[in-house]
């Protein structure tokens, strides 16, 4: 299968991004043709600092590598280096109903969060994402739960394009979402009713590269619920349930077994143990990050090679798209 996914170069990659997306990518690359993108154009739709953008892109690439994405198996590249993404996004805009965009949850959330910057890019964001995916004739898109709606719109646009411009034959495949059974929506540590998000306060997430002391501090002060029993109940105990999911995914123990282990022990002891689990799990990530930071030219080369490989596919698709749409 051809797989495509991306992460924005905003904030620091956190456990939610890892458990929802990156961890799946690492497994998928073994048996599929995978393309992983750092979607810098998407990150411009909310306020950002131009001086920090390139640094943030390098950090994301290092996070991909530290998490286990192998540049010999997968294509890794930066979105803005392959201009066909913008061209296809424009063309798909002409078949995308505005109403579909206005009902997108992420658009509604982000326009509430950035009231002074509700730009057209924020509304059109899912069309660019559809272009990212369709440009590579992708069959499946591994992401967290929050992106499911955007992948659904991508399917709608693929179908519309095929009907209008391809004699109803499948030119663009309609891509499936791939989501993990657990971990598709890891919640914020400071507000467990909201998803963990890189653009929020760093106290609300654990970055893949947080120092051990910082991990302990964040977990010990994570918002938990009234009561003291370590029990999974998303409606009554969203805070402790979120921590249980993280514990279970990182140790591969079932939630039931963890509940039994901490019966009668209270939140404090559970959190202390979780902090240790997270610190140990992320230790190789911190080590690999240091290693890659000293290999500047190797890291640059990965992006150059990735870009060249991505471009070959993108150019071929666009040639066909232009012909189908009556362009030269």
Report the distance separating Cα 252 and Cα 277, nearest Å: 11
Report the distance separating Cα 179 and Cα 177, nearest Å: 6
**3-state SS, residue 29:** coil
- Smallest distance, Å, CB 10 to ligand LTN? 9
Strand order in the sheet with 33-38: 75-78, 33-38, 2-7, 140-142, 176-178
- Smallest distance, Å, CB 302 to ligand ATP? 19
Rounded to the nearest 5 percent, the helix, strand and coil shares of the chain are 60, 10, 35
Among ligand LTN, ligand ATP, none, what does residue 69 contact (CB within 5–8 Å per kind)?
none
Question: Closer to ligand LTN at the Cβ: 5 or 224?
Answer: 5
The 10 Å CB-count burial string (b at 16+, else e) for 263-274 is eeeebeebbebb
Q: Report the residue closest to ligand LTN, judged by CB.
A: 6
Instruction: Choose the catalytic residue: 185, 195, 237, 271.
Output: 195
Catalytic annotation on 194? no
Report the distance separating Cα 186 and Cα 192, nearest Å: 9
- Smallest distance, Å, CB 247 to ligand ATP? 15
Among ligand LTN, ligand ATP, none, what does residue 133 contact (CB within 5–8 Å per kind)?
ligand LTN
Question: Closer to ligand LTN at the Cβ: 144 or 239?
Answer: 144
Question: Closer to ligand ATP at the Cβ: 191 or 225?
Answer: 191
Among ligand ATP, ligand LTN, none, what does residue 141 contact (CB within 5–8 Å per kind)?
ligand LTN
Question: Closer to ligand ATP at the Cβ: 40 or 84?
Answer: 40
Question: Closer to ligand ATP at the Cβ: 20 or 318?
Answer: 20
Q: Which tokens is 73 given?
A: 């198996």
Positions in the binding site for ligand ATP (CB under 6 A): 7-8, 10-11, 16-17, 19-21, 143-144, 146-147, 184-186, 195-199
Positions in the binding site for ligand LTN (CB under 6 A): 4-6, 8, 39, 42, 129, 132-133, 141, 143, 147, 150
Q: What is the DSSP letter of 263?
A: T
- Smallest distance, Å, CB 145 to ligand LTN? 11
User: Of 132, 112, 106, which is closest to residue 35 (Cα–Cα)?
Assistant: 132
Cα–Cα distance list, 131 to 40, 64, 92, 196 (Å): 14, 22, 7, 26
Catalytic annotation on 218? no
Cα–Cα distance list, 56 to 48, 145, 265 (Å): 11, 24, 41
**3-state SS, residue 142:** strand
Among ligand ATP, ligand LTN, none, what does residue 204 contact (CB within 5–8 Å per kind)?
none
Instruction: Choose the catalytic residue: 23, 60, 110, 271.
Output: 110
The sign of the dihedral angle between the CA atoms of 267, 271, 277, 282 is positive
- Smallest distance, Å, CB 5 to ligand ATP? 6
Q: Report the residue closest to ligand ATP, judged by CB.
A: 20
Catalytic annotation on 195? yes
Question: Closer to ligand LTN at the Cβ: 107 or 285?
Answer: 107
**3-state SS, residue 2:** strand
- The residues assigned a catalytic role are 110, 195, 198
């Amino acid at each position: 299968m051809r797989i495509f996914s991306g992460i924005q170069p905003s904030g620091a990659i956190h456990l939610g991004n890892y458990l929802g997306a990156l961890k799946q990518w690492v497994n998928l690359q073994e048996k599929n043709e995978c393309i992983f993108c750092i979607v810098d154009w998407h990150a411009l739709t909310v306020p950002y600092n131009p001086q920090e953008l390139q640094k943030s892109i390098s950090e994301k690439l290092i996070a991909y590598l530290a998490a286990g994405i192998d540049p010999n198996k997968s294509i890794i590249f930066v979105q803005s280096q392959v201009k066909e993404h913008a061209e296809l996004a424009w063309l798909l805009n002409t078949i995308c109903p505005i109403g579909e965009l206005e009902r997108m949850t992420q658009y509604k959330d982000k326009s509430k969060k950035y009231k002074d910057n509700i730009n057209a890019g924020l509304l059109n964001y899912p069309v660019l994402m559809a272009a990212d995916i369709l440009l590579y004739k992708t069959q499946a898109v591994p992401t967290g739960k929050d992106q499911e709606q955007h992948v659904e719109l991508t399917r709608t646009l693929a179908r519309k394009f095929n009907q209008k411009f391809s004699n109803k034959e499948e030119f663009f495949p309609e891509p499936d979402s791939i989501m993990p059974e657990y971990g598709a929506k890891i919640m914020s540590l400071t507000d467990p009713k909201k998803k963990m998000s890189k653009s929020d306060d760093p106290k609300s997430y654990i970055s893949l590269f947080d120092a051990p002391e910082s991990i302990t501090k964040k977990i010990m002060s994570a918002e938990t619920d009234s009561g003291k029993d370590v029990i999974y109940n998303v409606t009554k105990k969203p805070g402790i349930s979120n921590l249980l999911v993280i514990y279970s995914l990182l140790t591969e123990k079932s939630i039931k077994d963890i509940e039994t282990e901490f019966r009668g022990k209270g939140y404090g002891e559970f959190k202390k143990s979780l902090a240790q689990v997270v610190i140990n799990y992320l230790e190789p990530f911190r080590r690999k990050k240091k290693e890659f930071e000293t290999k500047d030219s190797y890291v640059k080369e990965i992006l150059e090679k990735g870009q060249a490989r991505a471009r070959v596919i993108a150019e071929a698709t666009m040639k066909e798209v232009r012909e189908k749409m009556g362009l030269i």
